[in-house]
Amino acid sequence: MKSNATEHVMNLKKHKPSYNLTFTIKRFAYIACLMYLMGMTHSLKTYATHLGKPKIQPDSLSIQDERDHIFSLLAYALVYQDWQGEQVPREKRRGYNIGALLVNEQNEPLAYNLNCITSTNNSTQHAEIRMITKYLEGSHQYNLRNCTVYTTLEPCAMCAGMILMTATKRVVYGQHDIEFSKAFERLAADHRASGGLGPYPRTVQVSPSSIPLCQQLDRQYETFLQSDAEKVLAKFLASESAKSIYQSAHPLLEQFNVLHPENIGIKRVALAFYQKILHSIDK
């Protein structure tokens, strides 16, 4: 007869597979739980790392919005290449650090110009005015029908008027001009209900650029207005804080991730135009 001890050993052997399986399941569950917690920790660290960083571009853009991003960045990048900084006396500067870019319906940059009110001693020589008049004179075109104007600063009433009179299709502007803003909206205002005038008979599609760079400029300008006694836009646009933002435009354009295949060639054209203007400045 087998002893009780022998029977106990035999019983353990019989149940050993079940015992090992239970232990394995528990160990697997423990490891899986540990890996999950480690993954959550990594995700939280990644989120915390990127929380304070501005996005290079939004997660999703329409085809047209993506094109507007490309050309808005191009306009800022070109202004930076002829930057007039604080170290240059105001009376010796070309003008304000403001630029305008003209693009046709085939998404080809046609012309570009800068504010030159100081070097010309002419207060009408805004970037938009110079760009439009010089392009029309050189190309012998009658108007800017189906073209888009990209500006680094919201156009004033004078520039808005010329843009309307040349039948420009669209305007995409960058930084808001707090003091001289909403020129297009004022021209489109209808005051007939109160006995006033109706809207101007010509219209243009106007939209602010959605690139983060413009939002940075708006925030920096608001800070500048709170701390600076003169509160002059030209002074802000010659400041180091504005310069650092403009300086980021070309790298952002190069890094811009084109999501729509239709716009790959457009980015290439924009970068080629940048190089063309850069070489002309160097000469």
pLDDT score for 90: 85
Domain assignment of residue 261, yes or no: yes
- Which residue from 140, 143, 193 is spatially nearest to 167, judged by alpha carbons? 143
Kindly report the average pLDDT of the chain as a whole number: 86
Domain assignment of residue 264, yes or no: yes
Domain assignment of residue 12, yes or no: no
Q: What is the CATH number of the domain that holds 106?
A: 3.40.140.10
pLDDT tens track for 55-82: 555 567 999 999 999 999 999 999 999 9
Judge contact between 188 and 227, C-beta under 8 A.
no
- Which residue from 172, 174, 177, 202 is spatially nearest to 187, judged by alpha carbons? 202
Taking every pair of C-alpha atoms in the chain, what is the biggest distance, in angstroms? Answer: 121
pLDDT band (50, 70, 90) for residue 137 = very high
Query: Mean pLDDT across the stretch 260-267?
Result: 97
Q: Does residue 254 or residue 27 have the better pLDDT?
A: 254
pLDDT tens track for 225-238: 999 999 999 999 99
- Which residue from 60, 2, 70 is spatially nearest to 265, judged by alpha carbons? 70
Q: How many helices (H) and strands (E) does the chain have?
A: 10, 5
Domain assignment of residue 148, yes or no: yes
pLDDT score for 42: 45
pLDDT tens track for 23-62: 555 565 666 555 555 554 444 444 333 334 445 555 679 9
Q: 100 pairs with which residues across the strands?
A: 113, 151
pLDDT score for 53: 42
pLDDT score for 60: 79
Residue 9 has pLDDT above 50, yes or no: no
Q: Does residue 93 or residue 19 have the better pLDDT?
A: 93
pLDDT tens track for 152-193: 999 999 999 999 999 999 999 999 999 999 999 999 999 999
Judge contact between 78 and 281, C-beta under 8 A.
no
> What span, in angstroms and rounded, lies between the C-alpha atoms of 104 and 253?
20
Domain assignment of residue 95, yes or no: yes
What are the C-alpha distances in Å from 51 to residues 47, 55, 76, 153, 202? 6, 10, 26, 29, 44
Domain assignment of residue 217, yes or no: yes
pLDDT score for 157: 97
Query: Mean pLDDT across the stretch 247-272?
Result: 97
Residue 205 has pLDDT above 80, yes or no: yes
pLDDT tens track for 102-136: 999 999 999 999 999 999 999 999 999 999 999 99
What is the number of domains present in the chain? Answer: 1
* 137 is a catalytic site residue: no
pTM for the predicted model, two decimal places: 0.79
> What span, in angstroms and rounded, lies between the C-alpha atoms of 253 and 135?
25
Domain with 161, as residue range(s), is 61-282
C-alpha 210, offset from chain centre: 5
Residue 142 has pLDDT above 80, yes or no: yes
Domain assignment of residue 27, yes or no: no
Catalytic residue among 128, 230, 240, 254: 128
The strand pair at 109-114 and 148-153 is best described as unpaired
What does residue 116 show for φ and ψ, rounded to 5 degrees? -135, 40
Domain assignment of residue 153, yes or no: yes
